[in-house]
Structure 1
Amino acid sequence: MEFENRDEYIIKKYQQDEETMIQLYVQWCSNHQIDPIALYQRAYPGQVQNESLLKAVEEKDQESIEISSDTLLEVLQMFGNDDLAFAVTEEIQKRSKR
């Protein structure tokens, strides 16, 4: 029983952390006038729409919180979103050339 509760806790904690990662990504995109859904689809063209991402976009707070590009890239890579981190890096490079 205790083992089952620990597993449930770990799964719940991971899901909460994943939601935070998505919210950071959406906020970063908003701060840089980037469509988070379009960028996500560019990174993962074969995937169906990500419900958590759609929810985060709908519920995004209008308050702007500054998120550094380095922080976002670290968080994305921590969750194994390497393709999305690559797409974000491309956007960063495009903007630095302007």
Structure 2
Amino acid sequence: MEFKNIDEQIIQKYKEDETLMVRLFVQWCANFDLDPQVLYHRAYPAQSINVLLKEVIESDDGFDELHIGNETMLDVLQMFGNDDLAFVVADEIQRLEK
């Protein structure tokens, strides 16, 4: 029984961390007036709508004052294995710096 509880805690923690990653991505996009769904679709064109991304976009979570640095955003995406999305974000960073 104890192992099941630990497994559930690990899964819950991962979900919380994943939600935070998506919130940071949405806020980073807002900071630069970018559409997070467009960027996500460019990174993962074969995937259907990301439900978590949609939920985060629709919620008003009060992150408006938070500025996410470009390197931080790339690091967070890569930490979660979102390399394709990190590549799209890196392209946007280059485009924005021009």
User: SS at 1:80's partner residue?
Assistant: coil
Amino acid at match of 1:96: E
Runs of 4+, deviation exceeding 2 Å: 60-64
CA RMSD after TM alignment: 0.9
- Please report the TM-score for the alignment, with normalisation by the length of structure 1: 0.95
Match of 1:70 in 2: 71
Match of 1:32 in 2: 32
Q: Does 1:60 align with 2:52?
A: no
Structure 2: gaps spanning 5 or more residues: none
- What is the count of residue pairs matched by the alignment? 97
Q: Does 1:6 align with 2:6?
A: yes
- Please report the TM-score for the alignment, with normalisation by the length of structure 2: 0.95
**Which whole-Å deviations, capped at 9, do the CAs of 1:9-37 have from their partners, x for residues lacking one?**
00000000000000000000000000000
Structure 1: gaps spanning 5 or more residues: none
C-alpha distance in 1, partners of 2:60/2:89?
19
User: SS at 2:22's partner residue?
Assistant: helix
Q: Is the 8 A contact 1:27 1:64 kept in 2?
A: no
